[in-house]
Structure 1
Amino acid sequence: MTMNRPVPLSTATLADLPQDILRPGYDRARLTPGIVHIGLGNFHRAHQAWYTHRLMQQGLAQDWAILGAGVRPYDAGMRDRLLAQDCLTTLIDLSPKGRSAEVTGAMIDYLPIAEGNAPLIAAMADPAIRIVALTVTEGGYFIDASGGFDATHPDIAHDVAHPGSPRTAFGAMVAALRLRRAAGQGPFTGLSCDNLRGNGAILRQVVTGLARLTDPDLADWIDANGAFPNSMVDCIVPATGPAELALAREIGIADAAPVTHENFRQWVIEDAFCAGRPDWDRVGATFTPDVHDYEMMKIRILNAGHQVLANAGELLSVPTIADCMAHPAIAALFRKVQSREILPHVHAVPGMTPTAYLDLIETRFANPAIRDTTRRVAFDGSSRHPGFVLPILRDGLAAGTPVDGLALVEALWARMCAGTREDGSLIEANDPDWSRLAEIASAARARPMAWLEQGAIYGDLAAVPRFADAFDHWLGMLWRAGTAATLAAYTQAD
């Protein structure tokens, strides 16, 4: 499957690719757009775009092509790379049994990145666009400590003051919906594809909440006529770096933005769309009236499980999630926290028990072909811990089930944010709020409660002795005895 000279990826060179690489069998020139996707990173291209591409391979969804979009200046680099190769993407499937590659073509353009987002607003105002989907990360939805819409954020204040030239994706959505309403058109469906419980409800909250600050009638119209289905998305997709670029070249493609991914995908979507949808269920997606139990299983076992592993891995200089699963102490931490403290708060879904899902996750995490770094997984803990870990902790406190392992997970995060590993090496900034976290983590070495007094993250948990005392114990031990000894103390206790 190797070539001496990789083929530069473009529409014109598809026929020149190695024969064992799958490629679009449809005429991309005949595709018309139906979806705008904001936040076009690796995950979208390995997941939602792949499902749409697979429909197109069957001769379906030809009017559901994707327009990529971004709202930040750094999105321009990805736009340039993808436009240079006609918005084609090489997906490299890294199964433990071997790798395979496929070029996908469901995306046909990437909108210009512009201050004020005029090109994005114009595209979303086009009635041909029936879905606006987003992957903007868990921390991108302007959620305050109570779970409500944070109307005080400076970016939201900007959009309120300048509704015609907004800064955020949500401000652009509101501006486009305003134009559609004025033109007598219906709204599009807003489809969040981020790892948030009730992501559709959260998207509705931020879009209608922002609209209400400038135009209450528009907010009511969106709320009554729009649709924001909840969804659960799942596929492990590492970041692209030199190794991934080299791998694409090794298989015969010069792709400036290839994507590697595991040999697993899942997409569960609430069937509540206001302007039609592709038949993604024909290619493996699940439509259901209730996504809650699916997302609970995935977010609690996989996403919270990632946080169990990543901070311990960072402290012990373990580079990848697969390496963490091969590390006896970290793997023992993972299994004990999952079995004792997470699984009791997860319900079965059709065809899958929590225990069976945990077994599946352990197999997926242990795949050595997936170079998913602990640094990537530990990134933005200030969003991921409140979103993934703390809801389980609160359920455990309410139910009277053990929480000492989850307290240790929080202590590991606090210790990691102090910025040094056990071997003395520095941990580079790894959170949008890193400077503040590092300062508090340093103070928490002498007074652990300083960490729990972050009300925006922990709320009232500092006042709950069963958690606060356990956290105090574990953080003190991490500093006194080190990470390895602390993990052993937890995993070897009855």
Structure 2
Amino acid sequence: MTAFTLPAYDRRRLTPGIVHIGLGNFHRAHMAVYLDDLFARGEGMDWAIIGAGVRPQDAAMRDALLAQDCLSTVIELDPAGKSARRIGAMIDFLPVAPDNAPLIAAMSRPEIRIVSLTVTEGGYFVDPATGQFDPTHPDIVADARRPDHPTTAFGAILAALRARRAGGLPAFTVMSCDNLPGNGAVTRAAVAGLARLSDPALADWVEATVAFPNGMVDRITPATGPRERSLAASFGLADDPVPVTCEPFRQWVLEDHFPAGRPPLEKVGVTFTPHVHAFEAMKIRILNGGHAIIAYPGGLMDIEYVHEAMAEPLIAGFLDKVEREEIIPIVPPVPDTDLHAYFDLIRDRFANPEVADTERRLCLDGSNRQPKFIIPSIADNLARGHLPRGLILESALWCRYCMGVSDAGVTIAPNDPNWDRLQATARAAAADPAVWLGMADIYGPLGRDPQVIACFAGFLNDLGARGTRAVLTDFLRG
């Protein structure tokens, strides 16, 4: 393979404008790449990133990146030919401390005008039953009691905003880069909701003053393991313990709401629009919902990789049927976008063998993802008078997966933060399928719908009796 490329600019010219919390693979293959492209144009050089983390395990990433001058290896897995580049958009990584003091101090600096986050879909303290911020979560309660020593990202953001207000500095913009509906509104609810528990006046100020733009982000970025490190080594980067691999495709759609200023990201492909919600609904329902549709049958059939699942006619056919008959018809129109053409692109992306994304990664964290990516599509179909049998079958496949054994009898290792609860409920559902739908924090009122219960029970019983392959075959035959 050819050698990797280095940043096409003098990094000594960079000065910080952004603190980013959560230096995982997605951030380094997405936002950091857009900024790297911008800096290569000689523009926005005062918007470099300072990295940060709020979990003890973030310290390992800090050590790894500081050892290589905060450069990240990003390998694009194009079937036409892989390429590797070193991304230089980050110039420092703050110490990880239990009380987040270094993070709060950095966010309080006047040159910091954006604080961005990738803390996962489940990291926003949302009650799945209500879809609202949960002020009773133990971590939130602890931060409300000790606002000067917060342990959460939102507590640290609030402490820095409090310090800036006291010092007469303008508020920074808080920009979520996580993949959840209305991510800006969800972030505002977390920050203001936490403030309201200890300082209602500060909460009012946050809601009136701080900008939380909504955004849609997209790039398939597998976890880093031996394969990814071997790829980095093939480019001459064997000493990088944390390389990132990703598909060639990337997309970022943002509301243009940055009172403190922003980098000119439109020059490197970011779409600024007031219609973020339309793009977001399209992506969450079609792409993320599609991931769930292929994940659990693949997991039950002991298929390791996503492209292998797409090569299985039953799974590819299941995806096509559910998307075209039950998801695309309930997705609102998106400006200048053909939804069927968008789905065709998604199918090609899923089938890319170079990405080597795993079915297990797609199966991860269903208790957080199902209420966001699948259950709303079931509800929307029901509201139109249509029983979405394919989406309900997907839910039954998830339940069957959570029993912890594949169709061939292979043990499925725990794959959800709530695995113990899910496994116990799934096994109880083998005798009474309604028990699974009775998880109100996940299914809400949908779990009490007689049509849904009857359809789900039929599929779950059939999966237990005959297996995934037979059930998918019958479903595709209609």
**Could you tell me the TM-score, scaled by structure 2's length?**
0.98
Q: CA deviation at 1:31?
A: 1.1
Please give the alpha-carbon distance, in whole angstroms, between the structure 2 residues aligned to 1:423 and 1:67.
Answer: 48
Q: In structure 2, the residue corresponding to 1:90 is in which secondary structure?
A: strand
Please give the alpha-carbon distance, in whole angstroms, between the structure 1 residues aligned to 2:246 and 2:133.
Answer: 33
Long gaps (5+) in structure 1: 3-17
Please give the alpha-carbon distance, in whole angstroms, between the structure 2 residues aligned to 1:118 and 1:273.
Answer: 25
Match for 2:107 among 99, 124, 132?
Answer: 124
Q: 1:388-467 counterparts in 2 under 5 A?
A: 388-467=373-452
Count of matched residue pairs: 476
Please give the alpha-carbon distance, in whole angstroms, between the structure 1 residues aligned to 2:336 and 2:440.
Answer: 39
2:121 is the alignment partner of 1:148:
no
| Kept after mapping to 1: 8 A contact 2:279/2:334 | yes
Distance change in 2, residues 1:357/1:402 (3 Å)? farther
| Kept after mapping to 1: 8 A contact 2:173/2:259 | yes
Q: CA deviation at 1:178?
A: 0.5
| Kept after mapping to 1: 8 A contact 2:221/2:244 | yes
2:381 corresponds to which letter in structure 1? G
What root-mean-square deviation, in Å, do the aligned CA atoms of Structure 1 and Structure 2 show? 0.9
**Could you tell me the TM-score, scaled by structure 1's length?**
0.95
What is the match of residue 383 of structure 1? 368
| Kept after mapping to 2: 8 A contact 1:340/1:402 | no
**1:408-466 Cα shifts (integer Å, max 9, x gaps):** 00000000001011111111110001011111011011110110110100111122122
Q: CA deviation at 1:98?
A: 1.2
What is the match of residue 290 of structure 1? 275
What percent of counterpart residues are identical? 56
| Kept after mapping to 2: 8 A contact 1:318/1:324 | yes
What is the match of residue 340 of structure 1? 325
What is the match of residue 213 of structure 2? 229
Please give the alpha-carbon distance, in whole angstroms, between the structure 2 residues aligned to 1:148 and 1:394.
Answer: 18
Q: 1:115-194 counterparts in 2 under 5 A?
A: 115-144=98-127, 145-194=129-178
**1:272-304 Cα shifts (integer Å, max 9, x gaps):** 112100111100000011201100111100001
Match for 1:41 among 18, 24, 39?
Answer: 24
Q: CA deviation at 1:329?
A: 0.8
Please give the alpha-carbon distance, in whole angstroms, between the structure 2 residues aligned to 1:448 and 1:109.
Answer: 51
What is the match of residue 58 of structure 2? 75
Please give the alpha-carbon distance, in whole angstroms, between the structure 2 residues aligned to 1:388 and 1:346.
Answer: 12
Match for 2:298 among 313, 323, 334?
Answer: 313
Q: In structure 1, the residue corresponding to 2:228 is in which secondary structure?
A: helix
| Kept after mapping to 1: 8 A contact 2:51/2:94 | yes
Q: 1:89-108 counterparts in 2 under 5 A?
A: 89-108=72-91
Please give the alpha-carbon distance, in whole angstroms, between the structure 2 residues aligned to 1:212 and 1:274.
Answer: 23
Q: In structure 1, the residue corresponding to 2:458 is in which secondary structure?
A: helix
Please give the alpha-carbon distance, in whole angstroms, between the structure 2 residues aligned to 1:402 and 1:94.
Answer: 39
| Kept after mapping to 1: 8 A contact 2:116/2:176 | yes
Q: In structure 1, the residue corresponding to 2:126 is in which secondary structure?
A: coil
Please give the alpha-carbon distance, in whole angstroms, between the structure 2 residues aligned to 1:77 and 1:446.
Answer: 45
Q: In structure 2, the residue corresponding to 1:446 is in which secondary structure?
A: coil
Q: In structure 2, the residue corresponding to 1:98 is in which secondary structure?
A: coil
Q: In structure 1, the residue corresponding to 2:417 is in which secondary structure?
A: coil
Q: CA deviation at 1:109?
A: 0.9
Please give the alpha-carbon distance, in whole angstroms, between the structure 2 residues aligned to 1:449 and 1:70.
Answer: 41
1:70 corresponds to which letter in structure 2? G
Please give the alpha-carbon distance, in whole angstroms, between the structure 2 residues aligned to 1:489 and 1:369.
Answer: 32
| Kept after mapping to 1: 8 A contact 2:216/2:276 | yes
What is the match of residue 327 of structure 1? 312
| Kept after mapping to 1: 8 A contact 2:184/2:215 | yes
What is the match of residue 14 of structure 1? none
Q: CA deviation at 1:30?
A: 2.3
What is the match of residue 110 of structure 1? 93
1:351 corresponds to which letter in structure 2? D
2:200 corresponds to which letter in structure 1? P
What is the match of residue 7 of structure 1? none
Q: In structure 1, the residue corresponding to 2:374 is in which secondary structure?
A: helix
Instruction: Judge which range, 316-325 or 23-32, deviates more.
Output: 23-32
Q: CA deviation at 1:353?
A: 1.1
Please give the alpha-carbon distance, in whole angstroms, between the structure 1 residues aligned to 2:248 and 2:145.
Answer: 46
Q: CA deviation at 1:61?
A: 1.2
| Kept after mapping to 1: 8 A contact 2:254/2:276 | yes
Long gaps (5+) in structure 2: none
Q: In structure 2, the residue corresponding to 1:460 is in which secondary structure?
A: helix
Please give the alpha-carbon distance, in whole angstroms, between the structure 2 residues aligned to 1:451 and 1:402.
Answer: 19
Q: CA deviation at 1:137?
A: 0.8
1:349 corresponds to which letter in structure 2? V
1:160 corresponds to which letter in structure 2? A
2:51 is the alignment partner of 1:59:
no
| Kept after mapping to 1: 8 A contact 2:164/2:170 | yes
Q: 1:170-319 counterparts in 2 under 5 A?
A: 170-254=154-238, 255-319=240-304
Please give the alpha-carbon distance, in whole angstroms, between the structure 1 residues aligned to 2:257 and 2:454.
Answer: 45
Please give the alpha-carbon distance, in whole angstroms, between the structure 2 residues aligned to 1:251 and 1:407.
Answer: 45
Q: In structure 1, the residue corresponding to 2:133 is in which secondary structure?
A: coil
| Kept after mapping to 2: 8 A contact 1:347/1:353 | no
Please give the alpha-carbon distance, in whole angstroms, between the structure 2 residues aligned to 1:368 and 1:112.
Answer: 38
2:313 corresponds to which letter in structure 1? P
What is the match of residue 23 of structure 1? 6
Q: CA deviation at 1:402?
A: 3.6
What is the match of residue 459 of structure 2? 474
Q: CA deviation at 1:347?
A: 2.8
1:405 corresponds to which letter in structure 2? G
| Kept after mapping to 1: 8 A contact 2:387/2:451 | no
